Amino acid sequence: MDAIMERLNAIVLDPDLAPFLAIIKGARNGAVYGAKVRFPHALVMIFLFRSGTIQEKTKLVLKATRLHARNLATFAIVYKGTLVALRALGPVRSQKEGRYDTFMAGLLGGYVVFGRNPGSVSQQIVIYVFARVMLALAKIAIQPNIHPLSHLITPEAREKMTNNAWPVFASFTWAFVMYIFRWYPDTLASSLRSSMKYIYADSDHWDSFRNLLVHNK
């Protein structure tokens, strides 16, 4: 057994195999992370807000968990595999990562994994990432020497923008979502629409103490 483990350790520590083994570990970590994140979320949301038997709800929880884990694992494979391919296609002497390799690999992975399968799980992942990207881009936009207008932003103004970026983002996000929910609710995702209906629309109606505080309806 010791000899087998030594042999396996020698294989996984081979630097020539590192790029390919990184793909395998990326898939493993993506699957584990996806399962850890999705399972408790799906468990709570489905058992609280979905109708059906315990068996049916359990199947939905497991399905959502499997999809989330599969999406992140597959994206890791496509992303890391594309990086390996792009390095191999680059100049033979350098074999270094290009400036936009990660962008191209992310573009391909985003299309293959999420773009072609716009299910609810995929949409939730992409929308979450999109919000984080917008915040990051807002911070990058005011950093020194990023674009031709960077020199017009003084250190004092940059500090104020940084401190107020989140309050502005949060305020306008909620302003727009409440406006859309009021006037164009059908354009919102069904899960968001149902949760907002439960909190903001159903709370306008009751005919007894029981469905005022004890039950919604």
The pLDDT value recorded for residue 60 is: 92
Measured CA to CA, the distance from residue 66 to residue 74 in angstroms comes to 12
The pLDDT value recorded for residue 94 is: 59
For 31-59, what is each residue's pLDDT tens digit? 999 999 999 989 988 888 788 899 999 99
The pLDDT value recorded for residue 4 is: 86
DSSP classification of residue 98: P
CA distances (Å), origin 188, targets 3, 48, 143: 59, 20, 34
Element (H, E) at 178: helix 155-183
For 133-184, what is each residue's pLDDT tens digit? 988 888 888 888 888 888 888 889 888 888 888 899 899 999 999 999 999 9
Measured CA to CA, the distance from residue 142 to residue 165 in angstroms comes to 11
Closest CA to 76 of 213, 41, 63, 68: 68
Of 155 and 212, the one with more pLDDT: 155
The pLDDT value recorded for residue 66 is: 94
pLDDT > 90? residue 28: yes
Contact at 8 Å (CB) between 65 and 39? yes
For 87-133, what is each residue's pLDDT tens digit? 888 765 556 788 899 999 999 999 999 999 888 889 889 999 998 99
Q: How is the chain split into domains, by residue range?
A: 1-130
The pLDDT value recorded for residue 92 is: 56
Q: What percent of the chain has pLDDT over 90?
A: 46
Of 215 and 167, the one with more pLDDT: 167
Instruction: Return the SS3 of 24.
Output: helix
The pLDDT value recorded for residue 190 is: 82
